[in-house]
Amino acid sequence: QVQFVESGGGLVQAGGSLRLTCAASGITFSINDMAWYRQAPRKQRELVASISRGGTTNYADSVKGRFTISRDNAKNTAYLQMNSLKPEDTAVYYCNRPGSIWFWGQGTQVTVSS
């Protein structure tokens, strides 16, 4: 079945960096757009970044210039490089196909201390 497994989160000081990894299975990865979402406590899940099958990227205004989404089709993997992290980036980060309502993974916790 379709599965997304997120990893790479952790605790980092403000201004630091993390790279998140999303391992996908059960889909033909190369023909799917991919996205990273995050959900902070008591907040709705929000779209952070997306990357099309052709490599076109889009970012939420709040992370533009700091985060970079990428993909490695040979590894069925998407990445989110997060630089200049801020406390407001603290959230559980998930990957999925954009707009999908199914197959959410457990996410990976990112905590940015001030």
Supply the mean pLDDT for the chain. Answer: 97
pLDDT digit string (tens) for 60-91? 999 999 999 999 999 999 999 999 999 999 99
What residues pair up with 50 in beta bridges, in sequence order? 35, 58
- The model's confidence at residue 31, banded by pLDDT at 50, 70 and 90, is very high
**31, amino acid identity:** I
* The predicted structure's pLDDT at residue 63: 98
* The predicted structure's pLDDT at residue 104: 96
- The model's confidence at residue 12, banded by pLDDT at 50, 70 and 90, is very high
* The predicted structure's pLDDT at residue 6: 98
Give me 5's structure tokens. 């497994």
The share of the chain scoring above pLDDT 70, in percent, equals: 100
Q: Within a 10 A sphere around the Cβ of 58, how many other Cβ atoms?
A: 15
* The predicted structure's pLDDT at residue 86: 98
Contacts 24+ apart (CB under 8 A), 50-58: 50/98, 51/78
